[in-house]
Amino acid sequence: MSQEEIFKALMSVFSEIIPEVDVSAATPQDSLRDLGANSIDRADIITETMEAAGVSLPMVKFADAQSIGDIVRIIDEARS
């Protein structure tokens, strides 16, 4: 799974959890918070994206993630 595929999976999960938000224009520079995800939504989105990527990490690994791209990179690095 490439970073682009992880990004697409994350956006798909986001759309399932928060269907009222159009993520079609979302970029890796955006943050989940800026797109309207609260803290519980963010944890669910990250957890489900990790499952899709076949990765298991403690949520603390994402504490410093400022953008969707940071989340994608952390998940991608865990796969290596």
| CB-CB contact of 39 with 17 (8 Å) | no
Q: Where are the beta strands (DSSP E) in 4-80?
A: none
* pLDDT by residue, tens only, the chain of 80 residues: 899 999 999 999 999 999 999 999 999 999 999 999 999 999 999 999 999 999 999 999 999 999 999 999 999 999 87
pTM: 0.92
Query: How far apart are the C-alpha atoms of 11 and 35, rounded to whole Å?
Result: 11
42/52 Cα distance (integer angstroms): 15
- The answer for residues whose C-beta is within 8 angstroms of residue 55's C-beta and 6 or more apart is 75, 78, 79
